[in-house]
Amino acid sequence: MTESESGPLSDPFARRPLGTTGLDVTAICMGAAPLGDMEGVFDSVPGESRAVATVEAVLASPIRFLDTAAGYGDGTSERRVGMALRASGGVPDDFLVATKVDPDATTRDYSGDQCRRSVERSQRLLGMDHLPLVYLHDPEYHDDRELLRPGGAVDVLVELRDAGVIGTVGIAGGEIATMHRYLDLGVFDVMITHNRYNLLNRSGGALIDAAVARGMAVCNAAPYGSGILAKGPARYPRFMYQDAPAQTIESATAYESLAARHGVPLAAVALQFSLRDPRVSSTIVGMSRPGRVQETIDLARQPIPADLWDELADMPFSMIEGV
């Protein structure tokens, strides 16, 4: 790499501490949401064998961190991750599998009892007695009073942590106002924010600052805004799991031109934008096919001219959630 080029701040495949949790991770985490076969959410539905092969490719790669959730396809993603883990002889010592508790898919019950059932099912599907990192998932879709009442989901997660069933408790969600309220509880050690800190949208910047100021580790999910910044706006004109507004497509096209002018893939710029941020412990990249693993490694290692980052500082981005 020459002086006029710069890569990510440090080796994305060197293990680094996940805040103060005592866990080590790589700066890239495989996001297993697309493995849940959730029709209409992602670009494609991988089906069982492709999904399992994708996780197997991750296990054989320098990426040593995987993110799933009970709710991704109502256990489908976790079950497939578990199949790949079993086939490879269990979770490797240097590999971290994180999951999230979710409400009942039918009744939407998100009580303390449901939280306990969600953890038990994750243990079973993943084939893991001990879950080292479990997040409370998407609190913005539920009443705070239900989640926060004595004996509710948050209390149960803390109880399971104290009993050693769970290692670390995190908070994972979208809507920024809700996330601030949950940070203020002071019970979570890791935060996932998604689709709010990427080339197109930086509305989550202050939330990341708030988490870091509390000593929490931050995982930044969806560096491609669910795909548009990897596949390009012409091929995939969707942002954050829905059709992208014209303004978002225009902005993505401008970033695509910037990347092309400097002879690098748009996806490399999008990925390294997050990797370069010292506040972000790990960047969670969704993938649903085995070939994505090597592509991601190459994108993370792609030299990017320093001039591009200088130009990028003058590019527009949204501070409004969702666009």
Ligand X SMILES: NC(=O)c1ccc[n+]([C@@H]2O[C@H](COP(=O)([O-])OP(=O)(O)OC[C@H]3O[C@@H](n4cnc5c(N)ncnc54)[C@H](OP(=O)(O)O)[C@@H]3O)[C@@H](O)[C@H]2O)c1
Binding site for ligand X (CB under 6 A): 31-34, 42-44, 67, 137-138, 172-174, 192, 194, 221-227, 230-231, 267, 284-289, 292, 295-296, 299
SS3 219: strand
Pinpoint the alpha helices (H) of the chain.
47-59, 76-87, 112-126, 144-148, 153-162, 176-183, 205-213, 228-231, 246-261, 266-275, 291-301, 306-312
Least distance from C-beta 128 to ligand X, angstroms? Answer: 17
**Based on CB atoms, which residue is closest to ligand X, 243 or 310?**
243
Which helix or strand (DSSP H or E) is residue 187 part of?
none
> What are 6's strand-pairing partners?
304
Minimum gap (Å) between residue 91 Cβ and ligand X: 17
Nearer of residues 306 and 317 to ligand X, judged by Cβ: 317
Spatial separation of the C-alpha atoms in residues 42 and 75, rounded to whole Å: 17
Minimum Å gap between C-beta 27 and ligand X is 14
Query: Closer to ligand X at the Cβ: 167 or 170?
Result: 170
Phi, psi of 244, deg, nearest 5: -80, 140
Q: What is the smallest separation between the CB atom of 3 and ligand X, expressed in angstroms?
A: 28
Least distance to ligand X from the beta carbon of 137, Å? 6
| Helical segments of 6-106, H only | 47-59, 76-87
Q: Which is nearer to ligand X, 105 or 162 (CB)?
A: 105
Considering the complex, state which of residue 297 and residue 306 has its C-beta at the smaller distance from ligand X.
297
- Please give the residue whose beta carbon sits closest to ligand X in the complex: 286
Strands 16-17 and 24-25: antiparallel
268-303 exposure pattern, b = at least 16 Cβ within 10 A, e = fewer: bbbbbbbbbbeebbbbbbbbbebebbebbbebbebe
Nearer Cβ to ligand X, position 73 or 167?
A: 73
Q: In terms of CB distance, is 139 or 152 closer to ligand X?
A: 139
Three-state DSSP class for 289? coil
Closest distance of CB 106 from ligand X, Å: 20
**And the tokens for 308?**
């591009």
What's the CA angle centered on 266, arms 210 and 65, to 5 degrees?
A: 55
- Least CB distance from residue 320 to ligand X, whole Å? 18
